[in-house]
Amino acid sequence: MRKGKKNFTPQVLQEVEITDAGAEGKAIGRKDNMVIFVDNAIPGDIADIQILRKKKSFIEGRAITFHHLSDKRAAPFCKHFGICGGCKWQNMKYEHQLFYKQKQVVESFTRIAHLEIPDISTIIASPQQTCYRNKLEYTFSDYRWLTDEDMRSESRDSINMNALGFHIPQHFDRVLDIETCYLQDEPTNLIRNGLKEFCITHGLTFYNPRRHTGFMRNLLIRNTTLNETMAIVVFGEANEDNQKKVLDHVLEIYPSLTSLMFVINTKNNDTISDLDIQCYHGKPFIEEQLGDFLFRIGPVSFFQTNSRQALNMYNIIREFAGETSGKIIYDLYTGTGTIANFVSQKAQKVVGIEYIASAIDDAKINSKLNNISNTCFIAGDIAKTLNAEFIEQQGKPDIIITDPPRSGMHPAVVEQLLQIKPERIVYVSCNPATQARDFAMLTSAYKIKTVQPMDMFPHTHHMENIVLLEKMKNN
């Protein structure tokens, strides 16, 4: 209800046919030549849509009454679906999720960037559709989100308002208490539920994001396919006695932990990469095996979220790079050097650039761990680092691999690629729209040779896309 309008009645559009799936996982319908972005619906549904926001060129709304249910629908397997916001496509059959992800790539390239592209390879499905994530972060909160079931409960007034789970979308101060999450393998649910019960029983305060008070703040769990598990407990304030009680109990819940870390965060944000993270038990890292390579993962290391699919992705990147014998390769946005190490075997030299210094430290460790001696990792802002002087020092690259953040490459980096003109560019992206934008600036010198979408994040609209660009002969 809008403030000051007691008799306000939400406007409802009747019997809207949902025809597509679009950005941010929303479904798309049309009514009277207006595009409607819809929550809680999938293509093939016919539903009444309650308008939540009306703009000049589009409407946002949610489905409230269904007249016809799509044959693309699947029964959600998680009780938190529809509230949590983490797996928006869980109500769509997996083969249709793949279809709309591939369609997203085609439309980004042809309709947004107006690029001519070859036939796109069929999207590669994730080896696992559940329990595929190797990292999850949970939040403690004393301001639990009350579900419809909670609101209808006769004992509503006695509900414990402490929660350990995920932030409700668009509500930074509300957390949904999670009972079972299917994104990560055990022991994630065992540790989370056991720790929450212990903290409530012992009267330990949960964090309040408005007042920035509370002892228990976050819980991060990382795991690997080698069955190694790291738990990181984030405390909102220092209290050595209570810290020890909590950490000892985590070990009681799961004695097989490879690594138990803790950190005290009294800042107003949840970032812990700039804090002193201490090892309480075991090793200060866990290890992951991808193909012939072993990678060390610390508490703040970047690592691809879906380990099994990451192996498939790195094999494709290496294939797209082509013959590397005696060649110089640049790996831009190298992170912890996973790709750089993966393509290093026959190369003369691989140069990785990354702006996060701690990631570069991890990259160097990973090269040493795998007895790789032909890599060189440099910390710096790529837009400033990748210049003529740098290329003179490191050598002109024959192949450039780039895996930028969702925002894509800085225009200065794109311009530098046009100046360097390597024979091949392998562009890895989690956002086909910004990837296509960057390609539009490269078409004067490069043609798109191969496009390979991959599903790294089942039940979401997110994906990865790998593209091989080859320099045109007249350049």
Contact 372, 352 (CB under 8 A): no
SS3 117: coil
CA–CA dist 92, 105 (Å, integer): 19
DSSP category for residue 390: H
Contact 121, 452 (CB under 8 A): yes
Backbone CA torsion sign across 91, 96, 102, 105: negative
CA–CA dist 172, 149 (Å, integer): 22
DSSP category for residue 121: P
Here the tokens at position 452 are 């390979």
| Helices and strands per DSSP (H, E), number in the chain | 11, 21
Residue 208 phi/psi, 5-degree rounding, is: -115, 110
Contact 162, 206 (CB under 8 A): yes
Instruction: List the beta strands (DSSP E) in 169-238.
Output: 171-177, 216-223, 229-235
Contact 347, 290 (CB under 8 A): no
Number of CB atoms found within 10 A of residue 163's CB: 22
Active site residue 430: yes
CA–CA dist 70, 61 (Å, integer): 18
> What b/e readout covers 348-381, taking b as 16+ CB neighbours within 10 angstroms?
ebbbbbbebebbbbbbbbbbeebebebbbbbbee
SS3 257: coil
* Catalytically annotated residue among 84, 87, 199, 430: 430
Catalytic residues: 430
